[in-house]
């Protein structure tokens, strides 16, 4: 417990007690990069001992900072906002900002009018940086933000040669691991339920499916591919379609856990046993609060690490504009349970 002192402790007093310069204290308070762990701990001890509370309003005015970042969701389909993916990202980003003075604002941007309105809002100094998620191909918003010189980090990317800083999972590798597991288990007719193909994440997961087949010398059949939209309903619909096309279907790789849950429901309704008749693998592993029956084998996407990394990169870019874009791809992991 910090000792009681008369008056309000100042930043200079914290610096003197910690034995560092005023600028170092400011960087620690701002959670900025470039401070050694030992120095950061010394400053944090001094802050606790003195009971120092940063004057955020004064700091914001002096540094022309809003102390706020926007998490922008660009998905036009309102239904998808109820999917666990969105909840997990909000939690992971929020947790990463807990120990900073930065406020998180959630915003929906879906139309050209809303894009322009948001850029004007952000340029007006109301936010210091932007986190983007669910960006479809050809969406101009990342480029509009770059032109406005607003620090921006994307979850995922629009295409392979993305020109904006992003954090992504190894989507192709995760899908390849899942389908390779099904092939090694002796599955022959493996269908896949993909996400919207105007999203690069869906293209990567489909590519991983194809690569696994190719590596095993198995012919790719377009009729075993059905496009969904990452929702449970689309997984149910796509599975019924796969069964109609291929009555001998013995495995399904779904590009999201929600679609895999829909697949399980459709298979049960069709009288197919999982995994005895049809094996199922999903992708994400972020809905432990909504367990499936049987428990779902899936590809773990490290959303907590993704959110934390997005926040770290954004705070660094807010502190000092980078000389180049940064692209971070985090590994996935196949989690074996009972459906495959």
CA atoms lying within 13 Å on the CB side of residue 276? 4
Whole-number pLDDT of residue 51: 80
Count of CB atoms situated within 10 Å of the CB of 103: 14
* CATH node for 11-54: 1.10.260.40
pLDDT given for residue 62 in this prediction: 46
Pairing state of beta strands 333-335 and 297-300? antiparallel
Residue ranges of the chain whose pLDDT lies below 50: 1-6, 56-62
- pTM, 2 dp: 0.77
Backbone angles phi, psi at 174, to 5 degrees: -65, -45
For domain 171-300, the CATH superfamily is Response regulator (3.40.50.2300)
- Whole-number pLDDT of residue 12: 81
Q: Which pLDDT belongs to residue 77?
A: 65
Q: Using an 8 Å Cβ cutoff, are 201 and 156 in contact?
A: yes
Question: How do the domains of the chain map onto residue ranges?
Answer: 11-54, 68-169+303-331, 171-300
Closest among 213, 255, 214, 261 to 236, alpha carbons compared: 261
Spatial distance between the Cα atoms of 248 and 242, rounded to a whole number of angstroms: 10
Q: At a CB cut-off of 8 Å and minimum separation 6, what does 64 contact?
A: 125
What does the pLDDT read at residue 295?
Answer: 94
CATH class of 68-169+303-331: alpha beta
The confidence score (pLDDT) of residue 289 equals: 54
Tell me whether the CATH fold assigned to 11-54 matches the one assigned to 171-300: no
The whole-angstrom separation of Cα 238 and Cα 225 is: 9
């Amino acid at each position: 417990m910090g000792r009681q002192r008369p008056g309000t402790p100042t930043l200079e007093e914290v610096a003197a007690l910690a034995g560092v310069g005023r600028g170092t204290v400011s960087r620690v308070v701002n959670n900025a990069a470039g401070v050694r762990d030992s120095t950061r701990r010394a400053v944090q001890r001094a802050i606790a001992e003195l009971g120092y509370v940063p004057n955020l309003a004064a700091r914001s005015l002096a540094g022309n900072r809003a102390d706020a970042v926007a998490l922008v969701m660009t998905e036009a389909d309102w239904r998808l906002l109820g999917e666990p993916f969105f909840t997990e990202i909000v939690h992971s980003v929020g947790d990463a900002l807990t120990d900073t003075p930065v406020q998180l604002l959630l915003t929906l941007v879906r139309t050209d009018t809303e894009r322009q309105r948001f850029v004007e809002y952000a340029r007006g100094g109301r936010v210091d940086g932007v986190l983007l998620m669910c960006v479809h191909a050809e969406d101009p918003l990342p480029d509009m933000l770059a032109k406005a010189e607003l620090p921006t980090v994307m979850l995922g990317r629009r295409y392979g040669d993305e020109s904006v800083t992003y954090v992504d999972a190894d989507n192709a590798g995760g899908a390849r691991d899942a389908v390779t597991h099904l092939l090694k288990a002796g599955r022959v007719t493996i269908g896949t339920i993909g996400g919207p193909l105007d999203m690069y994440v869906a293209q990567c997961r489909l590519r991983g499916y194809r690569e696994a087949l190719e590596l095993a010398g198995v012919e790719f059949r377009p009729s075993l591919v059905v496009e969904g939209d990452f929702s449970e309903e689309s997984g149910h619909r796509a599975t019924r379609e796969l069964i109609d096309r291929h009555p001998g279907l013995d495995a399904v790789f779904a590009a999201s856990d929600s679609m895999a849950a829909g697949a399980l429901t459709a298979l049960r309704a069709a009288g197919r046993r999982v995994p005895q008749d049809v094996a199922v693998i999903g992708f994400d592993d972020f809905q432990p609060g909504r367990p499936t029956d049987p428990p779902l084998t899936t590809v773990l996407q490290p959303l907590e690490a993704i959110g934390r990394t997005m926040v770290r990169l954004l705070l660094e870019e807010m502190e000092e504009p980078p000389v180049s874009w940064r692209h971070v791809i985090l590994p996935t992991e196949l989690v074996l349970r009972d459906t495959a």
